[in-house]
Amino acid sequence: MAPSPTGEYHVGHIRTVLYNWAFARKNDGKFIIRIEDTDRERFVPRATERILDVIKMYGLDWDEGPEKGGSYGPYIQSERLDLYAKYAQQLVDQGQAYHCFCTKERLEDLREGQRAKGTSPKYDKKCLNLPKEEINEKLSQGVPHVIRLNVPVDKDITFSDAVYGDITINSNDVDDQILIKSDGFPTYHMAVVVDDHLMEITHIMRGMDWIPSTPKHILLYEAFGWELPTYVHLPNIKELGGSKKLSKRLGSVYAVDFLKEGYLPEALLNFLMFLGWNPGTEKEIYTLDEFVSDFSLDKLHKTDLVSFDRKKLLWMNGQYISNCDTKVLWKKLEEWSSQFDIDLKVGDYSEKYILQVLEQVQRRMKLLPDFVDTTTYFFSEPGIQEDLLVKYVDGKEKAGEILKRFISTWGGVSDWSVEELEKVSHGVLEEFDYTPKEAFMTVRVAVSGRKATPPLFDILVILGKERVLGRLSKASEMLG
């Protein structure tokens, strides 16, 4: 995987990391990360560190690359400029690349003229046949220039893709690609071919939007006389029901933002597994080990786009949260709050108490922030809205009466357990002819400030007798 440090890492890139990682693990290979930082105009300071951090946050690692080293380093392209210059000069000497001294103004005029004629913009090879003496003079004078690939005319370029089979593109549709820019840095096309060969990369998995560029790479491999790697082009990711890439209008697109929103890394990875791959079974929940075992190239989708179903992701995340051991889930919540500086609002309560609370709300959670949203009344006094407090009875007087009945009854309960509270509470309903809805919903609002909570008697036990009676009294006083 070869990230470019030009900004935050896209969630689609994590999908590609996952496929590369799983394929390497299954085949006893090595997963390599190489930082492709040759686009200096778009380079963002510290983006490399953020990209590597987010890959690790998703629970993935690499065998060779930054922070790890390896036999084929350096793994940062800006530290390999001499290599690219050497191989570019080799191509020039072979007549398969040439120096181009055209100015930006001339190139723009050329493109505008071609667009006016309805043809695709393409370099016209003006500098291909410059006399050697003129080239040497311009180079000695330091005239700005680039090195371009000399694409042959009207040649069918065929390569085999592990997903799409044989693909043929005619060279007339391929531009004389710049290989070395005027600042001395290589373009992606030059650097990726040199590095993939020197690092002995056997398989290249990347988005299918790179298919049109692959003929340029094939020409470079042929020019150097190098063996081709296996190309694996993956379907790109689009919004569900649309035909365009993921949109910030509809939700997160960057890998780190999904984690900050409270998605579990393992749930995200499980979801991403199916964006381009299908095991051919009904199984939906996969561990990483299971995915490695089942992953194969022949089960990759032969399509150009796959849908990112945000509702399905939310459902899957809820499944992971629900099925997680409560102690493990609490550790995940702590890690998440620490990573993103989020207050869980649990105060100084003990872990034992917190786990009791978490166990009650766990199956209601879809995202990690749901813990905070659904548990505030366990850790601080709730705000009570009078209209909600009297919503389930006929007026303030009856609501106040109900609260006083329970204060009196529960005040005499010594065994503060779910079973005992249920028994004596239903006795109150029978004695005073209250319906469960009007009695228990009024109490629920009084102790939590909410109309929806986990089972009432469970939360009463967790809150404890003293706090419950105190909240009932406070609500009763509010009603006058």
Closest alpha carbon to 277 in 292, 298, 255: 298
Residue tagged active-site, from 244, 248, 283, 352: 248
Secondary structure letter of residue 153 according to DSSP? S
The residue among 471, 299, 221, 264 whose CA lies nearest residue 371 is: 264
CA-closest candidate to residue 356, choices 455, 288, 263: 455
Distance of CA 103 to the CA centre of its chain: 40
Contact 418, 458 (CB under 8 A): yes
Question: Tens of pLDDT along 294-322?
Answer: 999 999 999 989 999 999 999 999 999 99
pLDDT value of residue 248: 86
pLDDT per position as a tens digit, 20-70 = 999 999 999 999 999 999 999 999 999 999 999 999 999 999 999 999 999
Nearest C-alpha neighbor of 477 from the set 384, 409, 415, 414: 384
pLDDT of 243: 83
> DSSP label at 372?
H
pTM, rounded to two decimals = 0.93
248 is catalytic: yes
Which of helix, strand or coil describes residue 63?
coil
Beta bridge partners, 156, equal 170
What is the band of 123 on the pLDDT scale with cuts at 50, 70, 90?
A: very high
